[in-house]
Amino acid sequence: MILRGNVEAFEPLVRPYRQPLLGLARRMVPDAEDAREAAQETFLRAFRHIGRYDTERSFRNWLFGILVNEARKVRAARSAAPLSLTRPLASGMVAAPEPASNEPAPDERYARKETRSQLMECLEVLSPREREVFLLRDIEELSIQEAAGILRATSVSVRVHLSRARRKMKKAILERFPHLGEEGR
């Protein structure tokens, strides 16, 4: 049914992937609106090209691969403008709110938002490929092989970029949060 273009059959298939895809898009694309657009385009492309889906692969990873390509297109379109992860993006990056009874105090919410914003700024030190590898492997918790498949790269290439990304992230985080380095001593 889905292969014949049945929208009603496609929607329940992709519903569980909406939030993970949007979350990854928000980490890959600096602007919240652009991230939503990349995620939406991912679903449209997946629907249009569902016949190309290899059932031997993970559907989630196939969607992630489409999203990575869409995020690249958005970044390329925006390459003329300097990237800034401190724009109104931070408000769009907040995870789904907890139930009201578990709601943190306003000052705690502000501190979390500020920390999240600073961590997102740390991603700026990464090259686009390092950022993709880091997000897929360490944030989305995909295996090296899964990340390599999504990025159409070798496992060795993913490992090299991941190693570089982790080193750069560690340095950037310690520069922004020097107290973290003191705890490890």
Full-model pTM: 0.68
pLDDT by 10s per residue, the chain, length 185: 555 556 778 888 899 999 999 999 999 987 889 999 999 999 999 999 988 888 888 999 999 999 999 999 988 887 645 444 444 433 344 444 444 446 677 877 777 777 777 778 888 899 999 999 999 999 899 999 999 999 999 999 999 999 999 999 999 999 988 887 765 55
Architecture of domain 1-80: Orthogonal Bundle (1.10)
Under 8 Å between Cβ of 110 and 118: no
Residue the block writes with tokens 């300097």: 82
CATH 1.10.10.10 for domain 105-185: yes
Predicted local distance difference test score (pLDDT) of residue 97: 42
- Could you tell me which of 137, 169, 170 has the C-alpha nearest to residue 153? 137
Q: What is the pLDDT of residue 150?
A: 94
Intervals of CATH 1.10.10.10 along the chain: 105-185
Per DSSP, the three-state class of 142 is coil
- Residue range(s) of every CATH 1.10.1740.10 domain in the chain: 1-80
